Amino acid sequence: MSILGWTTFWVIATFSLYIGIAIWSRVTSTKGFYVAGQGVPTVANGMAVGADWMSAASFISMAGLVSFMGFDGSVYLMGWTGGYVLLAILLAPFLRKFGEYTVPDFVGKRYYSNYARVIAAIAAIFVSFTYVAGQMRGVGVVFSRFLGELVEPLAAGLGVEVITIGVIIGMAIVATYAVLGGMKGITYTQVAQYCVLIVAYTIPAVAIGYSMTGSPIPQVAMGEVLPALDGLQQELGLDMYSGPFANLSMLNVFAITFVLMVGTAGLPHVIVRFYTVKTVKSARWSALWAIVFIAILYTVAPAVAMFSRYEILQSFSDLGAMGMLESPRTSWVQTWAATGLIETGQWSEGMSANALLSTIDRDIIVLATPEIANLSPWVVGLVAAGGLAAALSTASGLMLVISSSLAHDVYGEIINPDASEQKRLKVGRGIIFVAIIGAGLLGIYPLGFVAEVVAFAFGLAAASFFPVLVLGIFWKRCNKEGAIAGIVTGLSFTFIMIILMRAHVALAEFGITEPVFDSFLGINAQGIGLIGMILNFIVTYLVTMSTPPPPQEVQDLVEQIRYPRTLTKDELSEAASS
């Protein structure tokens, strides 16, 4: 069977599984819709967190970034992994003990203000829409390469690109299981999606590592490939792959890593997963299981990056650019060039390796790796299905955050607090449909490549949520005026700076090709959330100290959240006085 046949088989099989789970897990209550009835088993929740976390950026784009950036690409590995540890230890157990449905719920109750709730909901929507744009872009990339032949007639008839049809199909699938099952349907679908994506990711890595070094363990094999890759890079006039700060300055390596860490701890769609378990203890164990499941992919990604880069550069060294276009050994070049993701029209005799690499879209590396290594068509198709699983699993979680922010936090708590259970559920499902349309538009007209867009979301989360969550748990004096001012300042600054630095990417077709400026204090768009976060902390502190403290019952609540058991009134008074 051909690659198209196997891809179609795997996609139909996995999509049928997801829809079947959604039908089985459909819910009729808001508690089931938003937090899965708080009855998700610990291991299942850890696996769902892993799938929710390992988005299209992790599956499709992260290895591509590491492959093209070398040492500097490790900012994504360090930031995203370290950030999850930070979230698991610093925030998740305390937020679960608080016992609300959403992050804006926590902000609204902790800061005793509907204004704070609304602003937190707006921030959650900003972050989620930015994040989901990367997922929809990933869906489109998979469809444009692996299922293009099937949907090309439809795309031609509608006068749109194949990638647009792919995004629309992805939107329809997410809408189906997110609307039917809510958080319960999303959770168990994500368990299935994790199994699909991790198998799809590791099989090619194991096969390639074994063929290159004789070791079936990718993490071991890459230790043998790295010296050879460094030597090949130098032969072709490139910097050493393992050399630091070739693509990013030291300041930006620090800034981006830090932003990804604290942004992780502030991501609403990840935090809400810890509300779905029964107890605080379960939240902690869910975090541990999630780290285990995430580590499997995150330790394989650098190996995939090295294997792919080595194979590409070795082919270039042996055949030259024009030879790669004609040789059966590199037939993958022509198939990917047909999607527009490799610009072979710029290839010429005598071009440099660096020039050749600049014509290859970073987002294709993982998806193209099985073809680059001449693996079986069923493996190629499985990887495509894994990429879709990664993108759709995160997109569904983000859609629920947008729905809960508007339907639960704004409509249900402020606009119509007397609304019935069924009315709230109906509004929540309706908002998911609207949100998916917006997400699809962002996928069709992206702000950058997948992982870059996702990095912007982390910057927005770092600048808006992280300070108010940390201060809300660990500083009982922090009040609503400070929190509101901090969120608005951090979010506004970061969003405006990203637009000024990166809007030209989306507006290039209108003749706008230059950013207003490249960096701020030497920090680029992906790391600018660091400045936004610092501003948030400063403004929150200054405004808090110049305004009245929170009510005593709120301060008592903060003390109670930090203790592992319910305190008596005397204990609360003693803790407050100390």
* 3-class SS of residue 523: strand
Closest of 384, 316, 379 to residue 170, by C-alpha: 384
Sorted by sequence, the CB contacts under 8 Å of residue 370 that are 6+ apart come out as 204, 376, 379, 380, 383
What whole-number distance in Å separates Cα of residue 401 and Cα of residue 423? 18
The pLDDT score that the predictor gives to residue 471 is 93
CA distances from 50 to 36, 53, 390, 418 (A): 17, 5, 10, 36
Sorted by sequence, the CB contacts under 8 Å of residue 367 that are 6+ apart come out as 60, 141, 142, 145, 146, 383, 384, 387
The two three-digit tokens of residue 63, written as one number: 């290895």
pLDDT in tens, 480-529: 999 999 999 998 999 888 888 877 665 655 666 677 778 888 998 889 99
Find the radius of gyration of the CA atoms of the chain: 24
CA distances from 282 to 266, 351, 366 (A): 20, 57, 34
Q: Provide the 8-state DSSP code for 374.
A: T
Residue holding tokens 């949100």? Answer: 435
The pLDDT score that the predictor gives to residue 40 is 81
Q: Which residue type is seen at 279?
A: T
Q: How far is CA 572 from the centre of its chain?
A: 39
The pLDDT score that the predictor gives to residue 490 is 93
The pLDDT score that the predictor gives to residue 510 is 61
What whole-number distance in Å separates Cα of residue 555 and Cα of residue 559? 6
Residue holding tokens 């492959």? Answer: 67
The pLDDT score that the predictor gives to residue 570 is 61
In order of their start, the domains of the chain are 3-547 (1.20.1730.10)
Phi-psi region of 204 (alpha: psi -120 to 50; beta: other; left: phi over 0): alpha
Check if the beta carbon of residue 146 is closer than 8 Å to that of residue 381. yes
Sorted by sequence, the CB contacts under 8 Å of residue 569 that are 6+ apart come out as none
| 10-residue stretch averages of pLDDT, the chain, 578 residues long | 83 84 74 69 85 74 85 84 79 76 82 88 80 73 72 77 79 74 77 87 90 90 91 90 85 90 79 76 81 86 90 91 88 84 87 90 84 86 84 78 80 83 82 81 65 71 89 93 93 88 65 75 90 96 96 88 61 55
Q: Round to the nearest angstrom and report the end-to-end CA distance of the chain.
A: 71
CA distances from 525 to 132, 265, 373, 531 (A): 18, 19, 35, 11
Please list the helix, strand and coil fractions of the chain in percent, rounded to the nearest 5, in that order.
80, 0, 20
Sorted by sequence, the CB contacts under 8 Å of residue 101 that are 6+ apart come out as 31, 34, 35, 272, 275, 404, 408
The pLDDT score that the predictor gives to residue 507 is 61
The pLDDT score that the predictor gives to residue 574 is 59
Residue holding tokens 């030497």? Answer: 522
Please, which contacts does 238-243 make with residues 24 or more away whose CB atoms are closer than 8 Å?
238/313, 238/353, 238/354, 239/70, 240/70, 241/70, 241/71, 241/306, 241/309, 242/70, 242/71, 243/70, 243/71
The pLDDT score that the predictor gives to residue 290 is 84
Check if the beta carbon of residue 543 is closer than 8 Å to that of residue 471. no
Q: Whole-prediction pTM value?
A: 0.79
What whole-number distance in Å separates Cα of residue 301 and Cα of residue 67? 9
The pLDDT score that the predictor gives to residue 564 is 56
Check if the beta carbon of residue 511 is closer than 8 Å to that of residue 569. no
* 3-class SS of residue 158: helix
Residue holding tokens 């089985």? Answer: 24
CA distances from 260 to 292, 452, 523, 530, 565 (A): 19, 11, 14, 9, 32
Q: Which residue type is seen at 388?
A: L
